Chain A
């Protein structure tokens, strides 16, 4: 079950403050990195909602993000609609897709759920990849950013856009925490812990899973909008299954089922990517080995492991029951 502890609030505030400081003081390149982190953090929070709290390890979150980005592209570029209503409609579209996938795959679990979500994600990828109307392999360009000039805000500036992305990350975190603390979030946790018991209590578990996927897809859709407006260009690569795999890596890197962990994971992942890429172009081997080490060491991730150590120090009695590490 999710608890917004004081430690988590402090870490969230510190991370966001750090990102804001980096964005304000850094140059254009720093702001690009901040937006990249924000997109990945939003997507990882969205995946943690279903994977960490509902046990639904989805391999279609990249595709959901891409669907929102493409829906936004179609509405703005192809139909010439204004950005704000288009973004709302695109996010809603992603949520509908997520709900449908969640409902269809709701009766599967474990590896079958993973494979089923992979299948739906790849269907979306293939359809967009093959569509001449959507530019196929070449993608689509010229997607507009929000026009907030009536508020005196210039979204074209890299500083404004960086701060906008950080603000959305905070909003998404708060929305996810709020939903997980609601009765619905607790029911979802109950289904994850013991599905048979929740069924016996009269809970429609498939409906709850579908709703959880729908909410998660809504958040992933927001990541899609931020990504689409960031480079103002989208390509089918966004939807490919390895993107979903990378998001899962980010969640594990930070700490599955902690909600703040995915944010830390996104910061660590993007920083590491840019640091290592500066030295060698073999950065995948670094992330691959890191992932293996983290999973073999117990799978708690950077934040989860730190929280675990702190808990051990403050409460030695938990030592035996909490320790499930293999190392």
Chain B
């Protein structure tokens, strides 16, 4: 196998890592800040893809989908927040798992009713069609775009969380919610804001994934488990953890599937179990 082949696998892994990052960062901060287990996060990703397909069809442009899908998913998320999430915040992990598992079923059937069972494609914009050269190999330009979007979001969140006041408030909330509230931070408003950003990023992940993987009803469930693995091994509520976790899981699942298919399939579960037992706080825990 030549270097070009490995460069291709490297780019595939990086692109999958970026999708995982967009999903897991929202989930991990919601987890860390609200102590809320949202299994429906994968369903929001699916909704992002489907809303994107419809938006592109009505406005005739990929860019309409790119901007409208995150907004649409955020609105759905906000409705969920006020109807269910808020009242289940102190209901314990089992009730949260159950209700959000129920939401997976509800969204799955709503999508099937609205868009049908057939996989729907979304055309990448003309400017991003075709291939580009990288390290001597030709790679689809659109996939470079996914990597770039992931990197931009990563950088923006890093600046937002470490260099702004609101970021400091979120970090304070993750570390000790009661203390942050006692210091005069409106924790509830912060929760809502973080939840909305998480939903928007899930919607964004869905719409940028659609041109590559198509919008399918199974996409939400199949991405959920790798995302949860990223969140747990990275450390709940930790940005650095989500970055590291996404790269680890993305590379294990992509490169491993080529290199050692039998081992790779279970290695992320083994990693998850090992982290939970030996280092339950995660590889890079959130701390002040």
Contact = CB atoms under 8 A, between A and B. Distances in A.
Interface of A: 51, 57, 104-105, 107-108, 110-112, 114-116, 118-120, 122-123, 126-127, 129-130, 241-242, 245, 248-249, 252, 282, 284-285, 287-292, 295-296, 299, 326
A123 B269 contact: yes
Interface string B258-283: 00011001100110110011001000
A115 B240 CA distance: 21
Given A292-B103, A292-B106, A296-B84, 11 more contacts: A104-B273, A115-B276, A116-B273, A118-B225, A120-B273, A126-B266, A241-B225, A248-B101, A282-B112, A284-B108, A291-B99
B270 A288 contact: no
B105 A284 contact: yes
Chain B: number of interface residues, binned into ranges = 35 or more
B205 interface: no
B225 A295 contact: no
Interface string B210-229: 00000000000100010011
Contact of B109 (A111, A248, A288, A326): A288
A119 B99 contact: no
Contacts of B91: 295, 299, 326
A122 B225 contact: yes
Nearest to B35: A111
Contacts of A285: 105-106, 108-110, 113
A288 B229 CA distance: 24
B97 A57 contact: yes
- Max chain B Cβ within 10 angstroms of own Cβ: one of A105, A126, A292: A292
A132 to B, nearest CB: 10
B95 A299 contact: yes
A287 B104 CA distance: 11
B269 A126 contact: yes
Contacts of B228: 115, 118
Contacts of B92: 110
8 contacts: A104-B277, A112-B276, A116-B273, A120-B269, A122-B269, A123-B269, A295-B95, A296-B84
A207 B103 CA distance: 36
Nearest to A281: B112
B98 A111 contact: no
Contacts of A289: 102, 106
Contacts of A296: 84, 87-88, 99
B280 A57 contact: no
Contact of A107 (B101, B108, B277): B277
Contacts of B261: 130
A118 B269 CA distance: 9
Contacts of B266: 122-123, 126-127
Interface in B79-120: 84, 87-88, 91-95, 97-99, 101-106, 108-110, 112-113
B69 interface: no
A51 B94 contact: yes
A149 to B, nearest CB: 42
B37 interface: yes
B232 interface: yes
Given A110-B93, A285-B109, A291 B270 contact: no
Contacts of B94: 51, 57, 114
A105 B104 contact: no
Contact of B113 (A111, A282, A287): A282
A108 B277 contact: yes
A130 B265 contact: yes
Contact of B102 (A110, A116, A291): A291
A288 B102 CA distance: 4
5 A-B pairs closest in CB distance = A288-B105, A285-B109, A291-B102, A288-B106, A284-B105
A96 B105 CA distance: 33
A326 B99 CA distance: 14
A112 B236 CA distance: 11
A57 B269 CA distance: 18
A302 to B, nearest CB: 15
Contacts of A248: 97-98, 101
A284 B109 contact: yes
Nearest to B270: A123
A288 B103 contact: yes
A127 B269 CA distance: 11
A81 B110 CA distance: 48
A111 B106 contact: no
Contacts of B270: 119, 123
Nearest to A292: B102
A295 B201 CA distance: 28
A126 B276 CA distance: 19
Best-surrounded residue of B91, B98, B232 (most CB of chain A within 10 A): B98
Contacts of A130: 261-262, 265
A157 to B, nearest CB: 36
A122 B225 CA distance: 9
Nearest to B39: A245
B244 to A, nearest CB: 18
Contacts of B109: 282, 284-285, 288
A207 B97 CA distance: 26
